[in-house]
Amino acid sequence: MSHHIVQAENLAYTYPDGNNALKNISFLITHGESVAIVGANGAGKSTLLMHLNGHLLPGKGSLRIGDFPLTKETVHNIRRSVGMVFQDSDDQLFMPTVYDDVAFGPLNMGLPADVVNERVKSTLETVGVLHLINRPTHRLSGGEKRSVAIATVLSMSPDILVMDEPTSNLDPKARRRLINLLKSFKHTKIIATHDLDGA
Amino acid sequence: MDLLSYQDTPLHKIDPRAKLITALFFILTVVSFGKYEISMLVPFIFFPVYLLTSGNIPVVYILKKILYVSPFAVMIGVFNPFFDQGVILQVGNTGIPGGWISFLSIMMRFALTVSTALALISCTGFNNICFAINRLGAPKIFAVQLLFLYRYIFVLAEEAARMVRARNLRSFDGKGKGIKTYGPMLGNLLLRTINRAERIHLAMICRGFDGNIRIMKKYKFGLRELLFVASWGSLFLLFRFVNIPQFAGNFITGLFV
């Protein structure tokens, strides 16, 4: 399979304030790989992840995701194939109920209502929180929020999952559950973490 | 409050649009009375009472909420008794000045409209009301703003509370609690809010947001909704144009004459 690859060549990025966050990074991640990005605070992990969903465009060098090199024109296609789970679940869950939030992506992709309905239920079941389906998102616990946040991304059936510190702020049990859940996914996974067990 | 909106009574199942239209019509009719009207306002209590009972909403809870916001209404009406001293009602030997009547009228209107609004939210859910507003033709941006306001006001309040707690733990003998620290704290809160807004926007773009919030339609505006709006609407019109309390009073005194 060649079309789920992520390839960076001499990728570099400097923030407008002069902070040189990425310096000539090159790597190749092929289909189905699980890759952990480990580094100290401020090492540039988040900056790299921001490139993977096209929020930041390469300053120098190039990034290829799937069939597309990352440019302004291809960014929409890339966002469809890359599912991004944010560090703070409150940022990710912006709709009033769990159902609406998980349905948000598929509805934007233009899927018909019954398919969306089916997808919402099956993804919530996958992450094990189907019972939360009608709850308001701001009343969930931290672990529940994280699970739902992952479901919101999975419901778009991305090829590549990108996660920013998915195990942060979780208690050991929730963390263990999450790690097992991630193991069961067949997607290409790119995970920035400080959790060396999880890595 | 929104936990109450997850119940499953027949009232909860009615399309939010129907409830919203009815409640707006209710508020309009209540507000449209003259400033000395009291007796004709009384029958209107039926609607909030109906919402509370059939929506299975604890009355004490709503009453408390009304009490919280009542200072605003009191402030509006509190000067009427001073400015408007002309006697317009005679009860026995004491004359009641118009100011007191209009004050009472303001308070009654306040209680009726606010209890209806609170009951509406409790039996519909704030988010459903936003979608109803949107589907009734209000600008999309307005509905989306309301929706996000409601979603993130909790997050903002928590963030602010954490900052205040952090400050309190490091202020001693009243030092550090003055107005001097408020400025930077507010500024900091604003910056955090902007950062969060950027992250949320990014999260939305990642999931294909293009300016439209799409939502699955869970409700249908059917015969039941039409009946709900029409029957309550005509009842409000009856209450508005026929003085029911006077009619009832005449009828009862008529029995004894």
Summarize pLDDT for B135-172 with one digit per residue, the tens. 888 888 888 888 888 888 888 888 899 888 888 888 87
CA distances to A43, A95, B156, B181 from B192, rounded to whole Å, are 22, 20, 9, 16
Summarize pLDDT for B7-66 with one digit per residue, the tens. 778 888 888 889 999 999 999 999 888 888 888 888 899 899 999 988 888 889 989 999
| Domains of chain A in sequence order | 6-193 (3.40.50.300)
pLDDT attached to residue A131? 92
> How far is Cα B222 from Cα A49, in angstroms, rounded to an integer?
48
Contacts of A109 in chain B (CB under 8 A): 208
- Higher pLDDT among residues B170 and B115, named by residue: B115
Q: Which amino acid is present at B182? A: Y
Name the nearest CA neighbour of A163 among A188, A138, A136, A133: A188
| Mean pLDDT on A174-193 | 86
Would you list which residues of chain B are within 8 Å, Cβ to Cβ, of chain A?
2-3, 6, 125-127, 130, 147-148, 150-152, 154-155, 196, 199-200, 202-210, 212-217
pLDDT attached to residue B190? 92
Summarize pLDDT for B196-214 with one digit per residue, the tens. 888 888 888 888 888 777 7
- The C-alpha torsion from B25 through B27 and B30 to B36, rounded to 10°, is -150
CB distance A179 to A20 below 8 Å: no
* Number of other residues whose CB lies within 10 A of the CB of residue B178: 9
Contacts of A152 in chain B (CB under 8 A): 207
Name the nearest CA neighbour of B57 among B115, B133, B127, B128: B115
Q: Any chain B CB within 8 A of the CB of A117?
A: yes
* Number of other residues whose CB lies within 10 A of the CB of residue B27: 18
Of B125, B126, B216, the CB nearest to A116: B216
In Å, how far is B35's CA from the nearest CA of chain A?
Answer: 40
